[in-house]
């Protein structure tokens, strides 16, 4: 059974104090939480510090990026093996900010996916369309092309124990989150697209939504959709109370989890 997953992507924000205090408080506030996995993705330079502060087994560490090489003369890069070595579990790849500012192509992102799988890390593959592509009705075409880059090089098995984050580019950091019913349609399309290759893998893959989810109400609307398994939270993940309220939305949308609500202070 796939589980719920919330990842907080801090992007290029934070410092030593923020990292320490945030993780410490998060672990206290969410002690014994078991109904979902939570991961924090601070900048690479703070990953190790964050790891040392984590005292709750359901809170994991995510990196925001990885290099395609494992070692060697690649100045400034961080390898999958290094991330694994310090206890990272998830790695975000293909984020639209990297595709835009660093000109990362589908093929290059596929190489990152491969190196993560080989190192035993969980790729969080970000896919999604621009505003223009959305208006031109090209959402499914864009998403399937982004997925195809991995299917063609690594096959469907690569998607076992992987995460896809559907993030329409026009909703990232704009305060304009997508309509949950439309997002559900895209998530369902993604799952069915993978189902053509392998039903079990498609049923088990976690598909997150990301894009301006910044309060409990919005998060609840997304969690009510059957194919939305989690949220990749950007800006709101730096605000402790807001981030916790987004996590709380999972329990409020699932009757079976309500009994666990009392463990979130």
Binding site for ligand PEP (CB under 6 A): 9, 167, 172-173, 210-213, 232-236
Minimum separation from the CB atom of position 84 to ligand PEP (A): 22
202 vs 228, which CB is nearer to ligand PEP?
228
Minimum separation from the CB atom of position 230 to ligand PEP (A): 12
Task: Collapse the DSSP code of 151 into the 3-class scheme (helix H, G, I; strand E, B; otherwise coil) and give the result.
Answer: helix
**Nearest C-alpha neighbor of 9 from the set 55, 81, 56, 61:** 61
Minimum separation from the CB atom of position 229 to ligand PEP (A): 15
Check if the beta carbon of residue 200 is closer than 8 Å to that of residue 223: no
Q: Is 167 a catalytic residue?
A: yes
Which residue is at the shortest CB distance from ligand PEP? 234
211 vs 230, which CB is nearer to ligand PEP?
211
Catalytic entry in 95, 97, 129, 221: 95
DSSP for 34-94, written as a single string: -SEEEEEE--GGGHHHHHHH---TTEEEEES---S-SSSS-TT---HHHHHHTT--EEEES
150 vs 213, which CB is nearer to ligand PEP?
213
Minimum separation from the CB atom of position 195 to ligand PEP (A): 26
177 vs 253, which CB is nearer to ligand PEP?
177
Catalytic entry in 53, 129, 167, 221: 167
**Nearest C-alpha neighbor of 125 from the set 85, 95, 157:** 95
Q: Which residues are catalytic?
A: 95, 167
């Amino acid at each position: 059974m796939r589980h719920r997953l919330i990842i907080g992507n801090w992007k290029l924000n934070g410092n030593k104090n923020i990292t320490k205090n945030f993780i410490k408080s998060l672990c206290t506030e969410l002690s014994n939480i078991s109904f979902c996995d939570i991961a924090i993705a601070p900048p690479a330079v703070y990953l190790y510090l964050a790891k040392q502060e984590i005292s709750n087994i359901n809170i994991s560490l995510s990196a925001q990026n990885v290099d395609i090489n494992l070692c060697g003369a690649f100045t400034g890069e961080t390898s999958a093996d290094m991330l694994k070595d310090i206890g990272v579990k998830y790695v975000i790849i293909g984020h639209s900010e990297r595709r835009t500012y660093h000109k990362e192509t589908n093929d290059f992102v596929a190489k990152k996916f491969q190196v993560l799988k080989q190192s035993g890390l969980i790729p969080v593959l970000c896919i999604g369309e621009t505003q223009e592509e959305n208006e031109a009705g090209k959402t499914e075409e864009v998403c399937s092309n982004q997925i195809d880059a991995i299917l063609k090089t690594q096959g469907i098995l690569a998607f076992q124990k992987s995460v896809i984050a559907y993030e329409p580019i026009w909703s990232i950091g704009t305060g304009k989150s997508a309509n949950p019913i439309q997002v559900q349609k895209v998530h369902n399309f993604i799952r069915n697209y993978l189902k053509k290759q392998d039903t079990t893998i498609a049923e088990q893959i976690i598909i997150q939504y990301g894009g301006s989810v910044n309060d409990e109400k919005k998060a609840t609307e997304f969690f009510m959709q059957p194919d939305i398994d989690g949220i990749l939270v950007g800006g709101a993940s730096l605000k402790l109370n807001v981030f916790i309220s987004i996590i709380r939305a999972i329990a409020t949308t699932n009757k079976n989890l309500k009994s666990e609500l009392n463990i979130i202070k």
